Structure 1
Amino acid sequence: MRTLARGRHFFLIVWLPLLAACGPPVGVVRVSPSVVHQELTANVLSAGVPSAASRNVLGQYNLEEEFQARPAQALAALHDLYVQGGGGLDEAFTLAELSFLHAQNSGRRLFYLAAALYAYAYLFPDAAEREPGRFDRRLRVAADLYNRGLTEGLKSADGTVVELRSGVYDLPFGQLEVTFEERQRLWAGRRLEHFVPVADLQVHGLQNRYRISGIGAPLAADQVPVREQAGFQVGARLKVPATALLRVGDPRRQLARGRVYAVLELHVALDDSHVQINGRQVPLETETSAFLAYTLHESPVWKREIRGFLRGGLKEEFPFQLAGLEPYREGRFPVVLVHGTASSVGRWAEMVNELFNDERIRRRFQFWFFGYDSGNPVVYSAMQLRDALTATIAQVDPEHHDAALEQMVIIGHSQGGLLAKMTVVDSGDRLWNAFSRKPLEEMDIPEDRKALLERVAFFEPLPFVRRVVFIATPHRGSFAASGWLARTVAGLVSLPGTVIDTVGDLLTREAEALTLDADKFKTGSIFGMTPGNPVLDALAETPIDSRVEAHSIIAVKGLGPVDVGDDGIVTYKSAHLEGVASELIVRSGHSTQSHPATIEEVRRILLQHAAEWCAEAVVCEEVPSSRPTAAPTSATVADSDSRTPVRGQRPVLAAGPEGRRSGLARE
């Protein structure tokens, strides 16, 4: 007994302290909140691992080790539990997430499709089941699993496009029979083809990437005309943003049956923003910035910049000078963007990305782009702009029913601003008198030459233009145009035959009537924008029509005095116009159309335009009051939720002298 007592005493002395040193089997450890947040929010899409919610379900059914060793068998077991009524939303989400993970690891497409179906069952359960809570963090993940699963499940063998067609697809537990109506491919007189999954594309060259979070696989489609088209139309190489949606009725019941019937829908994002599912309005997932960047990535507009400057007859290769970002929309104000010298419509990308993604603007305005051969004489290109706009209005609204078309806005950058001004002034005989001492009708030149000169030099304001915005516009010329390099390059420009023939007749038959020295006479846009050019000076002094509101956005480099500043191409004094409704000074270089302060000013002007005319003459669509949010393209977006754009230093607008406002954003 004494030995036993000593043994117990030894145990208490030796072992109890050791046992006490061991922590409790359940407890907590204090860590950074960010660590806990990462554990709670990590999922297969953001971190490549199952979420905490899915791990919980695996643990409840003792399937953790099975999934690690034999994922297909574990998924089959969980599927049987779910379809037999032994589970609900938790199991549906887990099946969606783990099927997607297994598809990634195995490369088997059928598990991507299964993931999409399970996610759909979670998002839109049968009527008898409860729906996910609005604040359930799994809700957005499930939508992304559906979108990504559908995209991957319908990809072509090489993975470059999504194939939209009717057909039967294998599933881990049966088959999926898809119905797709081919007529859905027809849009605005064109057939949509070659659907590229834009979620796979990384965007560069745009400051912000905008997306509309919702349901469906976001795509960018090529468009092929069904028949020959003439006049105003959607840009020929424009990619069309679209969303594919696989609609499944009674998903849980069909999953239990083993053969799932579904309808594949194609929605053009420019037309449809929402769909009805189970009586609810559900937004469609749309990648608005990606489709724009993809359009420009494969566009020939960049090649046209220099070629269009040097070859004045390039219009023959690009016959459609005026094109839209989307088909003509009745009830929306046209915004016509006119680029500058040796430039193209592609240079508006940053501004369009910001404005088109602002629902307040997108639903009340339509963006049109005017492309021209910028080496041609400025007055000749302005004539083409007037002709294109007049023809388009007659084409799309011959009966003049659309009041919004009568309130057009034209925005011109650099030389484009000069073209814009020549749509809102009455030239009278000012321009002609600055060019010639003899009346046109007395000129000894062929009648067809006189007709061209009359169209170029004599014009009235276009009645449907109500607002113009001049951006870095050289109203009194560009000092860069008088430099030796610019004039040397300008000498390489080949002009259209009609211009060459007309100028030739003037120089050979009426040289003495010209105000310019015939021996030094030069034509082309660079010579036309040289300071002191009499025609340009006459245009600068020609008043803008009183019906039209005009705005100036003037770039000035550095932080020195504005009045003696310039943007590297145009001085402030050349860009300044008296009598405009507003003038904004932006501290930037000449290509200020992409500057945040410039874009914000254009946004302000357009919203002001809509506020004025929607209340007076046009029945406008209701729009939200808030501005858009976006994710900066330099950052990796872990989920589909939009985030506030990071712009660096935000433009600070302050009242300046003579009613000017200065944008103090950094260049």
Structure 2
Amino acid sequence: MPPRSLTASRVSAPVLIAALAVMLSGCATPVSVRTMGLADSYRERTRSALDGPRLSSQTQSVLASQNLTDTWKKHPQQALATLRASTQAHFYTPDLPSQLFALAELNYQQARKTQDPASFMATALYAYAYLQPDAPAAERPTPYDTRVQQASALYMLGLTGAFGAPVNPDSQRWTLPFATLDLYAAPDARLWHGQTLSDFQPTARLKVSGLQNLYTTPGLGEPLAAIVSTDTPPNAAFTVTDKVRVPVNLNLNIADPRHQVLSNQITGRIVLTPIDQTTQFHTKPNQPPLQYDQTAARAISLSQPEIWSSEYKGFLDGRFFDSGRRSQLFAIEPHQHGRMPVVLIHGTASSPGRWADMVNDLLQDKDISNNFEFWFFSYATGNPIPYSALQLRRALKKALSDLGGPQADPALGQITLIGHSQGGLLAKMLTITPHDRLWNGLMKRPLSSLDLPERTRRFLEQALMPTAMPEIRQDIFISTPQHGSYLAGLSIAHFIGGLVTFPVSVKDMTQQIMAGNADAMKLDMSPGRLGSVYAMSPNSSFMRTLASIPVVPDVITHSIIPVQDDSPLSETDDGVVTYESAHIAGVRSELVVRHSSHSTQANPVTIAEVRRILLEQLADFHADFHPGGDVDRRNIVRIGGSYTPVSDTAPAHAP
């Protein structure tokens, strides 16, 4: 028999181990706390099904309190049905908002797995009931609760997943696992300023690149982008384009949503609201704003290849707009009374798409978007400059006539022309009264002495002896070769200009002039010297004569001149036009944009200056409007521009 002490030690070993385990467990508590980084802390507090497979802590708590955690993992539909029944049974308890949010989040997680539109719609309905936007502010969840932002996103993405693409905004019935849903739409829901909206594309899942600033309006609902279906003839002088999409908001309007969503019959309205219209959704004060993706809506159109391919086609083919299939003057929205037109005229081998960043930024200023509207002029940029300017004049006159002119709306007599490069020369052609100076610069004999058909004579008189349009209030010249471009003087430029195919009318007119009037010409009317490229050469007769003719005194002028570096102004250029060529006397303001290329339309300094000029015009038109200090010249100088003293005399080299 072993010694007593040895037996005792063997017997007590398990006890000692257990005792040691108890002692060690006292050093590690069931609850622990650790410090996280700030970014990790934020992610932990805002985590939800919106950004991954893990539910929010609030929804996990709801599942745990209902003993549904395991059921949700194994039988999600059963868990949803049980939680809905529990919510119905405890409607008047303080837990109702938490359970509605949990139902929204759980349905969204399930919808992402199954891609079932009905589950997405259930997500939107529960999120809407949680937010109850129609209720007084005191009855809605506090905006400081992170779930409010999450519920707004669940509502938007739920609608996006439910309606698909394109969105059908008409009346419809849904069969959900727990109810029927009837959504009604007003018969005129698609109408916008008398036009019909169609092809409603969701923007929530779009990623935009290529524009320097992305603008959204935070709020409630699904952001859409619609096109305008117009009955305007394709060859009309002025039309609302069906290429640039209108930002639209889609919302549901469900009365007493918390009771309805928990019933088996739900009814509501589909409400469409374009960004520029007073919303039907705001029937009571203190209601949430509506959500828009305005930049994404515009980017859909700008992403189409045909917009950019037209730049070189429109340069080389002078007949590009003569077929009647393309409107040369268009707007991005119908004219509204009291809004002053801003006509944007692009440069050589360019297109209206080059104004995208400027317009995108300017429309964010409510003073501008509520008082101005943007019209765009397209033209075949290789054609003779007087020919393109006449097309612009005719298009503007037709548009003004169709809209009733300044007699119907005084704002139509406050037009601003903004021309980039060659576009600035077209703008000038509409604001001068040269009499016979342009003609005399090109021809030796008076027009009346030439042997020409009467139709050709009238055309030449309109193109080369214009009068300033009285409806134009100001010109903004951007990178404009007022005295010609040195690039246009190069032989390679003349070669490229010679490749342009001119319209039949220009060819016929040229042949008629040359047929019996060769002794009257000062210029070479061969194709290489007839188009816009040679005309913009500093040595061309047209350029020298146009530079000597001032804009009429009634028109206010501004110059925005980019330069590539910090060299003295007399020695610098933008890569296409020298400063001295772009500089003219008599302008109200001249801004030099340093370290900018010829294509300066997207430069923040250039855009800020255009904004300042437009707000200055608005202050002149409306005496009670006073622009804020953030649009004065000091701010623009601070961000990279420099104003130069404007001399009363022209540069030394000017004619």
1:200 paired residue number: 205
Task: Give 2:534's match in structure 1, choosing from 510, 527, 530.
Answer: 527
Further displaced range: 446-455 or 73-82: 73-82
Compute the displacement of 1:271 (Å). 2.6
Task: Give 2:260's match in structure 1, choosing from 254, 260, 263.
Answer: 254
Task: Give 2:42's match in structure 1, choosing from 27, 37, 40.
Answer: 37
Over 3 Å counting, the alpha-carbon distance change for 1:182 and 1:297 in structure 2 is: farther
Does the 8 A contact of 1:125 with 1:250 survive in 2? no
Task: Give 1:139's match in structure 2, choosing from 128, 142, 148.
Answer: 148
Distance 1:429 1:125 in 2: 67
Does the 8 A contact of 1:551 with 1:581 survive in 2? yes
2:277 paired residue number: 271
1:504 paired with 2:511, answer yes
Larger-gyration structure (1/2): 2
Over 3 Å counting, the alpha-carbon distance change for 1:215 and 1:608 in structure 2 is: same
Compute the displacement of 1:453 (Å). 0.7
Further displaced range: 477-486 or 466-475: 477-486
Aligned-partner residue type, residue 567 of structure 2: G
Over 3 Å counting, the alpha-carbon distance change for 1:47 and 1:614 in structure 2 is: farther
2:161 paired residue number: 152
Over 3 Å counting, the alpha-carbon distance change for 1:48 and 1:529 in structure 2 is: farther
Compute the displacement of 1:185 (Å). 2.3
Further displaced range: 604-613 or 128-137: 128-137
1:311 paired with 2:317, answer yes
1:130 paired residue number: 139
Does the 8 A contact of 1:430 with 1:538 survive in 2? yes
Does the 8 A contact of 1:123 with 1:142 survive in 2? yes
Over 3 Å counting, the alpha-carbon distance change for 1:316 and 1:49 in structure 2 is: farther
1:239 paired with 2:245, answer yes
Over 3 Å counting, the alpha-carbon distance change for 1:273 and 1:565 in structure 2 is: farther
Distance 2:456 2:552 in 1: 28
Compute the displacement of 1:414 (Å). 0.5
Aligned-partner residue type, residue 290 of structure 1: A
Compute the displacement of 1:401 (Å). 3.0
2:77 paired residue number: 72
Matches within 5 A, 1:81-96: 81-84=86-89, 85=91, 86=93, 87-96=95-104
**Ranges in structure 2 where 5+ consecutive residues have no aligned partner:** 632-636, 648-655
Compute the displacement of 1:518 (Å). 6.1
Does the 8 A contact of 2:232 with 2:239 survive in 1? no
Distance 2:524 2:135 in 1: 85
Aligned-partner residue type, residue 445 of structure 1: L
1:599 paired residue number: 607
Matches within 5 A, 1:372-383: 372-383=379-390
Further displaced range: 10-19 or 63-72: 10-19
1:175 paired with 2:180, answer yes
**Ranges in structure 1 where 5+ consecutive residues have no aligned partner:** 628-648, 660-667
Compute the displacement of 1:339 (Å). 0.4
1:116 paired with 2:121, answer no
Return the TM-score normalized by structure 1: 0.88
Matches within 5 A, 1:582-661: 582-586=589-593, 587-615=595-623, 651-654=639-642
Aligned-partner residue type, residue 478 of structure 1: S
Over 3 Å counting, the alpha-carbon distance change for 1:142 and 1:12 in structure 2 is: closer
Compute the displacement of 1:435 (Å). 1.2
Does the 8 A contact of 2:389 with 2:426 survive in 1? yes
Does the 8 A contact of 1:143 with 1:215 survive in 2? yes
Q: What CA deviation, in whole Å up to 9, does each residue of 1:558-581 have, x standing for no partner?
A: 332222111111111111111212
Partner SS state of residue 21, structure 1: coil
Among all aligned residue pairs of Structure 1 and Structure 2, give the percentage whose two residues are the same amino acid: 37
Q: What CA deviation, in whole Å up to 9, does each residue of 1:357-409 have, x standing for no partner?
A: 22221111100001111111111111111121122112112471312111111
Distance 2:127 2:21 in 1: 54
Compute the displacement of 1:460 (Å). 1.8
Matched length: 628
1:418 paired residue number: 425
Distance 1:126 1:342 in 2: 52
Partner SS state of residue 114, structure 1: helix
Compute the displacement of 1:89 (Å). 1.5
1:427 paired residue number: 434
Distance 1:199 1:210 in 2: 13
Compute the displacement of 1:82 (Å). 2.1
Distance 2:57 2:403 in 1: 56
Higher relative contact order (CA 8 A, sep 6+): 1
2:652 paired residue number: none
Over 3 Å counting, the alpha-carbon distance change for 1:506 and 1:613 in structure 2 is: same
Aligned-partner residue type, residue 355 of structure 2: W
Aligned-partner residue type, residue 652 of structure 1: G
Does the 8 A contact of 2:203 with 2:224 survive in 1? yes
Aligned-partner residue type, residue 52 of structure 1: S
Partner SS state of residue 188, structure 2: helix
Partner SS state of residue 26, structure 2: helix
Aligned-partner residue type, residue 188 of structure 2: R
Over 3 Å counting, the alpha-carbon distance change for 1:228 and 1:105 in structure 2 is: same
1:325 paired with 2:332, answer yes
